[in-house]
Amino acid sequence: MFDTDDPFGSVGYISQVDLYNCIIERMIPLGLDDKAIKLMIQLACNIDLDSMTLHIELYDRLLANYELEEQRKDVIRIAKIMRENVSDKLKKYKSKYQRPYELVSVMREYNDLIFIFLTAFGIGKKEVDDYLKYDQEKDEEVSMYKMLDYIDIFGADEDWVDVYEYMAVAKKVTPRKKLQEKYKELKKEING
């Protein structure tokens, strides 16, 4: 139908993020049962993106529309089931190099979505360990950077400092200079 890799750009009428937001807004009045929540998670995590969209933008729309604590807990619960199903499929491969990229990518997106939704409730060691258990990054410093970036966008400064300290001290991960500098600034602000 379109002679392009970017159908949203060709039409130029609505962005993928705005379309996703419209879908959520129209589904909410119909009821947020497990099936509807699963569909919203799939549309955020397991979909091809146009060239102007990031998954995190879709997660942000889902988070903004699911304002109630119970709704957010339902998203986390269902996303964890979906993540576990993908994890089981990945375990069937003897080598991580044999695993299909699509499955690895979906696992990463489910894991990121869960972590972002958890920032609404506070991030501690349990949440960090859960994230690391399913994380697909080869380098723990990259995982640390991602978690701290998500907390910076969606969470609290205190959680950022706690995760930094947990990763740097308990997990013995050496953070990049940018994170070290931010840690010093936040620690100073928090301690007054």
Domain spans, the chain:
11-88
Model confidence at 12, in pLDDT bands (50, 70, 90)?
low
Model confidence at 137, in pLDDT bands (50, 70, 90)?
confident
Answer whether 118's CB lies under 8 Å from 69's CB.
no
Per-residue pLDDT, averaged over 17-38, amounts to 93
Q: What percent of the chain has pLDDT over 90?
A: 80
CA 184 – CA 11 distance, rounded (Å): 47
pLDDT for 7 beyond 50:
yes
Task: Residue 59: name the closest of 39, 45, 74 by CA.
Answer: 45
Per-residue pLDDT, averaged over 29-57, amounts to 92
pLDDT for 37 beyond 50:
yes
Model confidence at 138, in pLDDT bands (50, 70, 90)?
confident
